[in-house]
Amino acid sequence: MLAYLIRRLIAAAVMLVVIIVVVFGIFFLIPKWAGIDPAANFVGKQADPAAIEAVRQKLGLAEPIHSQVWEFFKGIFAGRTYVGGGDVTNCAAPCFGYSFRTEQEIFPVLMDRFPVTLALALGAALLWLLLGVSAGVLSALKRGSIWDRGAMVIALGGVSLPIYFTGMVAAAIFIYGLGWIDGQFVPLEESFTGWLGGLILPWITLAFLYAAMYARITRATMLEVLGEDYIRTARAKGLAEKTVIGKHAMRSAMTPVLTMLGMDIGALIGGAILTETTFNLPGLGQAVLQAIRTQDLPVILGVVLITSIAVIVANLVVDVLYSAIDPRVRLA
Amino acid sequence: MTAPLHEPTAEAAPSAAVEAAAASSGTKAVQGRSLGRIAWERLKRDKLALFGGVVVVLLVLVAVFAPLITSLVGQDPDLRHEELIDPLFGTPVGSLGGVSGDHWFGVEPVSGRDIFARIVHGARVSLLVGFASALVAVVLGTVLGILAGFFGGWVDALISRVMDGLLAFPQLLFTIALVSVMPNDLLGLSGSGVRVFVMILVIGFFGWPYVGRVVRGQTLSMREREYVEAARSLGAGRLYILFKELLPNLVAPIIVYTTMMIPTNILTEAALSFLGVGVKPPTSSWGQMLSSAISYYQSDPMYMVVPGLAIFITVLAFNLFGDGVRDALDPKGSR
């Protein structure tokens, strides 16, 4: 178990390094190849050459790409000092650098936004897991019934709807039409009910989309598992149907669902870009979209790093959970 | 499953006929139906899937003949009708976002461009990106999946790690990032052409591991089968086995994955255009229309509903058809 964890952590670290290098590649090499100067981009359109040169020196943009990547990594663990044009800027560890646009230090900005995205992702995940898995299991058990058909039609509709469309329709109805909720995001520290009011629609619309996917997957795997020999054996032993379904079938049917859950939560924590844009939630997704539009590389790097860590951690947790749920899986 | 897979020769025929059948076995008496035929017969019975298929065909026709359709209707996707816009609010005059005999789906706020014409033209981008990126993913996934499954060893290890890595990548983020840094002119294309080209490549690139994993798994289990061994013992080369023995048996899962991938890709294209990194104006796309509708959905909800429904109907039709194809090609399926 310990050896397994260590191996996974090493693989995760390698993955992170690869991701960072790829992001650097995308934002340094492609503009370079296209003839766009990141330093000029930072200063602004009508900057004088001296100012551009000063920025280039200070941010180390003239250095070769490998040393820029190295400086970035060092900054995360040891902090970083920018020297240039007579002024010195200290950035304490974990230093993700400074935004090209707002000149704010990135790590605190991202930490401000992180709770919003985390609350959105976890709240929605709880909802969709309850809804999707129970609908899928019921459909599989009552295969061919009205309930099964109805649930699967709704689920098929659900996976065919883009979230920004359902989100807009929901907002048009509940915020502007009926006026039930205010729809403005309020931080948890200010008001709990305000916070709930701001998140309830995003949770429901996001959960609806994923619940539809999970219901389809759960139904399919459940049907497959119910056809296996060990279920027949369990029934032949005279076990109660409740035990057969709850203890024997559910355990292995949940494995693919868990895999998806790990990937989905991980990806959402890194920024539910579409949901946050639709509902104007000040989370990581909105931050990264803004940063991509303005080619604010340090912010993009920061969010990508957080996303990748979230995906990797979520997958690791899921893999460890497998062995607890499915007796056929043993970690080695 | 109501129709048997093979004609019940031995049981139905009298013993004399059995000998005759045995003598000419494989020629006439046992007439096996091909997988394609069985699948087609099953698909024909699946009304929902057929309906989805018909809608898909119609959509493809709309996309291909978009300029013809709009000119027959007498509309131009780029022509502004500012006389139809309320100068105070910027919203269309008349009910339901300016729906009229001329403008079937109404007109856009502010510019007054015809929504029907823009929807019809938007189908081109959606379907082109949806199909072409699925093709990229399927070609890459099939080739690399077969290589990994067939050769094993370090080839398999390398390809499998790359697939795991890509699946764990924050894909939407990378797609947005890549599309947004692309220069305006590339390989003789410009503006929206570059965006479409890049979207096809990037969406396809992130899609291939899904196909690759399935193909690899199938190849792994098939390369140990007797028929492959038989071919090898007859002196067949590796390439012959790969393309003549293995590939035909992989066609079913590949078709299933392709049909399932197209709607997802259409949604991704719409999402990218919604986020402002898809095609550039004046080229119209459904996602882009929804993104501009976000500013008007309190005053002009029709502008949001039309492109939203266009995406929904398209994706739903592909999903219905895809589900039907999957059920028809699945030997375990019992419908």
Mean pLDDT calculated for residue range B329-334: 58
Sequence-separated (6 or more) residues with CB below 8 Å from residue B41: B3
Contact flag A172-B297 (C-beta cutoff 8 Å): yes
Contacts by B28-36, CB closer than 8 A, 24 or more apart: B30/B6, B31/B7, B32/B5, B32/B6, B33/B5, B33/B6, B35/B251, B35/B252, B35/B329
Band of residue B58 on the pLDDT scale cut at 50, 70, 90: very high
Alpha carbons within 13 angstroms on the beta-carbon side of residue B237 total 2
Q: CA-CA distance, B49 to B328, in Å (whole number)? A: 10
Hey, is the C-beta of A271 within 8 angstroms of any chain B C-beta?
yes
Sequence-separated (6 or more) residues with CB below 8 Å from residue A97: A72, A75, A80, A91, A105, A106, A298, A301, A302
Q: What part of A 86-145 touches B (C-beta under 8 Å)? A: none
If you measure CA to CA, which chain B residue comes closest to A15? B165
If you measure CA to CA, which chain A residue comes closest to B315? A160
Mean pLDDT calculated for residue range A3-9: 79
Mean pLDDT calculated for residue range A131-137: 90
Q: How close is the nearest chain B Cα to the Cα of A246, in Å?
A: 25
pLDDT digits (tens, 9 = 90+) for B33-53: 676 777 777 777 878 888 888
Distances from the Cα of A217 to the Cα of A260, B20, B155, angstroms = 9, 49, 31
Contact flag B323-A267 (C-beta cutoff 8 Å): no
Size of interface A-B (CB pairs under 8 A): 119
* Residues written for chain A: 332
pLDDT digits (tens, 9 = 90+) for A241-271: 888 887 888 887 888 888 788 878 877 876 6
Output the pLDDT for position A40: 63
Q: CA-CA distance, A179 to A182, in Å (whole number)? A: 7
Q: Which residues of B touch A30 (CB under 8 A)?
A: 178, 181-183
Band of residue A48 on the pLDDT scale cut at 50, 70, 90: low
Of the candidates A26, A277, A315, which has its C-beta nearest B177's C-beta?
A: A26
This prediction's pTM: 0.80
Output the pLDDT for position A4: 76
Can you tell me which residue has the tokens 């045995």?
A: B22
Hey, is the C-beta of B217 within 8 angstroms of any chain A C-beta?
no
The radius of gyration computed from the CA coordinates of chain A, to the nearest angstrom, equals: 24
Q: Which residues of B touch A271 (CB under 8 A)?
A: 173
ipTM: 0.77
pLDDT digits (tens, 9 = 90+) for A93-111: 677 777 777 777 778 888 8
Mean pLDDT calculated for residue range A206-227: 87
Q: Which residues of A touch B182 (CB under 8 A)?
A: 30, 34
Hey, is the C-beta of A265 within 8 angstroms of any chain B C-beta?
no
Q: Which residues of A touch B294 (CB under 8 A)?
A: 164, 168, 278
Hey, is the C-beta of B49 within 8 angstroms of any chain A C-beta?
no
Residue A26 pLDDT > 80:
no
Preferred mutation among B172, B264, B297 to probe A, highest tally of A CBs within 10 A: B172
Of the candidates A156, A266, A295, which has its C-beta nearest B319's C-beta?
A: A156
Residue B184 pLDDT > 80:
no
Output the pLDDT for position A322: 74
Hey, is the C-beta of B270 within 8 angstroms of any chain A C-beta?
yes
Output the pLDDT for position B183: 66
Band of residue B306 on the pLDDT scale cut at 50, 70, 90: confident
Output the pLDDT for position B331: 57
Of the candidates A15, A31, A311, which has its C-beta nearest B181's C-beta?
A: A31
Output the pLDDT for position B139: 92
Output the pLDDT for position A33: 65
Q: CA-CA distance, A187 to A282, in Å (whole number)? A: 10
Contact flag A274-B290 (C-beta cutoff 8 Å): no
Of the candidates B276, B297, B319, which has its C-beta nearest A168's C-beta?
A: B297
Q: Buried b vs exposed e over A240-262: b needs ≥16 C-beta within 10 Å?
A: eeeebbeebbbebbbbebbebbb
- Contact A198/A186 with Cβ under 8 angstroms? yes
pLDDT digits (tens, 9 = 90+) for B235-245: 888 888 877 77
Q: CA-CA distance, A252 to A248, in Å (whole number)? A: 7
Residue A36 pLDDT > 70:
no
Output the pLDDT for position B29: 53
Can you tell me which residue has the tokens 């947790």?
A: A317
Low-confidence winner among A21-30, A36-45, B67-76, B93-102 (lowest mean pLDDT): A36-45
Q: How close is the nearest chain A Cα to the Cα of B157, in Å?
A: 14
Tokens standing for A69? 């990547």
Q: CA-CA distance, A44 to A46, in Å (whole number)? A: 6
- Mean pLDDT in chain A? 78
pLDDT digits (tens, 9 = 90+) for B122-153: 888 889 999 999 999 999 999 998 888 888 88
Output the pLDDT for position B17: 44
Preferred mutation among B180, B189, B202, B265 to probe A, highest tally of A CBs within 10 A: B180
Residue predicted with more confidence, A117 or B332? A117
Mean pLDDT calculated for residue range B55-67: 87
Of the candidates A30, A160, A274, which has its C-beta nearest B316's C-beta?
A: A160
The radius of gyration computed from the CA coordinates of chain B, to the nearest angstrom, equals: 25
Q: Which residue segments constitute the domains of chain A, with CATH numbers given?
A: 2-91 (no CATH), 107-331 (1.10.3720.10)
Tokens standing for B12? 């139905």
Output the pLDDT for position A99: 73
If you measure CA to CA, which chain B residue comes closest to A36? B183
